[in-house]
Structure 1
Amino acid sequence: MDRIRVALADDHPIVLAGIRTLLNADPEIELVGEATSGSDALPMIHSAGPDVAVVDVSMPGLNGLELTERVAGECPGTRVLVLTVHEDAAYVQPLLRAGARGYLLKRSAADDLLRAVRAVASGGIYLDPSIAGHALADPSSVGGPGPGEAGEALSPRETEVLRLIAQGFSNKEIARRIDLSVKSVETYKARAAEKLGLRTRAEIIRYAAAQGWLDALALR
């Protein structure tokens, strides 16, 4: 099995050393690059082409949000896992909208970092259990009906597509997984989102979390 290639970006040397130690202890993970600023991290990620980039939110140069947006747009093969001290839900939604596939608190890293890296690398979403509930379950924070409030039920295929979208898979990846054309996947996604009144990826993820669709990912 190929090792998961990981790059790190954090401006605190002690934190960087601790993350490095955790990752190097796992034989299934290969550390391919490090940076201590967002502006240094972007070219490093371009050059190294990691499967997962573990990035801090508060960094000099590009901050974590700006870096996530750039990586999502310029390095589609790299998935971003945010590792931060910020527990405020206000940080989570913008980062998910920017393209982050995971959000992990630094205080949880010793126990959950390797699990989070594997979940994100496999195409899923990882949210720190201590922030997932209040970050995604507030119906007033985004539009759309809450679970069970939709006027029209989803078909099994619409449910399957929406669940995979929420777990971080692209339309092309979903098409391969369930043997459909990309166009059909897009149609099912659009129908499901319209029925539920979901307009953004963050809203889809909130709905998925409320349905328990992300629970299995959090246990990997």
Structure 2
Amino acid sequence: MSTPTRRQIRVCLADDHTLMRDGIREMLSTDSGFTVAGEASTGPEAVAVCVRLRPDVLLLDVEMPGPGAAAVIRQVARAAPQTRVVVLTMHDDPDIVSELLEAGAVAYLLKTILRDELVAAVRSVVRRPVQNILLAVSRATVQRLDRQRPRAAAPLTERELEVLRLTADAMSNAQIASRLFITEATVKRHLTNIYAKLHAVSRVDAVRKATAARLIKPVPQPPVSY
């Protein structure tokens, strides 16, 4: 009886240096658990390739032609929410780390990491819930991040929490409206207020931030084999 083949983790590479993309592609190709599904050399190309190919992970460089890494991350979160963005950069800067994690990146890695560390990080962000964030930065950057206070968010009302919990359960606006005996327009209004209070850019981002802040309980993740 043959053993079932594990599904490969599909990765897209976004870096304006061809040599860097070649190196990462070669590293990942040595592991049968990965496949490089696509590549991009600009921010807009990175968003387009995620929309077209729906990869599990986007490895994103910080400095590329286009609107900037934070904008790219937000656009990917809206257009391809199943894709988890891992920042891979030379910049060990707490301000950049904070900005990109707040934008929705699930990991921030330095290009000085070893191959095994990169492979482990990519596997981890796929296997674990979206609110888990990995860092591979210097001790000084971590210490500065620890000293920085997150932006205070306005408290959510009980109704907004109800809407957010049902959103976390992957319910549509229509399903939430039916469950709470309210209109879809009211659900949309609550979601708009939730986004503003949590500084979120999407449903997934709102759930991730609310879970990280312990406003709602984490959604149990089904076991996945790779």
- Per the TM superposition, whether the score is higher than 0.5 is yes
Residue segments in structure 1 that go unaligned for 5+ positions in a row: 145-169, 174-182, 184-197, 209-220
Within the candidate set 60, 71, 77, 1:55 is matched to 60
Secondary structure of 1:26 counterpart: coil
Q: How does 1:111-126 map to 2 (within 5 A)?
A: 111-122=116-127, 123=129, 124-126=132-134
Q: Does 1:77 align with 2:82?
A: yes
Identity across the alignment (%):
37
Q: Does 1:32 align with 2:37?
A: yes
Residue segments in structure 2 that go unaligned for 5+ positions in a row: 1-5, 153-166, 171-179, 181-196, 200-207, 215-226
Q: Does 1:127 align with 2:135?
A: yes
Q: Which has the larger radius of gyration?
A: 2
Secondary structure of 1:141 counterpart: coil
Q: Distance in 1 between matches of 2:146 and 2:67?
A: 29
Does structure 1 retain, via aligned residues, the 8 Å contact 2:110–2:137?
no
Q: How does 1:73-152 map to 2 (within 5 A)?
A: 73-122=78-127, 123=129, 124-128=132-136, 130=138, 133-134=142-143, 136-138=145-147, 140-142=148-150
Q: RMSD across aligned C-alpha pairs, in angstroms?
A: 2.9
Q: Does 1:16 align with 2:21?
A: yes
Q: CA deviation at 1:77?
A: 0.8
Partner of 1:218: none
Larger helix fraction of residues = 1
Q: CA deviation at 1:16?
A: 0.9
- One-letter identity of the residue aligned with 2:109: L
Instruction: Figure out how many residues of one structure are paired with residues of the other and give that number.
Output: 159
Q: Distance in 2 between matches of 1:126 and 1:37?
A: 24
CA displacement 1:101-139 (0-9 Å, x = unmatched):
11000111534111110111123322115367235311x
Q: Distance in 2 between matches of 1:199 and 1:43?
A: 27
Instruction: Normalising by structure 1, report the TM-score.
Output: 0.63
**Alpha-carbon distance change, 8 to 142 in structure 1, aligned in 2, over 3 angstroms:** same
Instruction: Normalising by structure 2, report the TM-score.
Output: 0.62
Q: Does 1:172 align with 2:177?
A: no
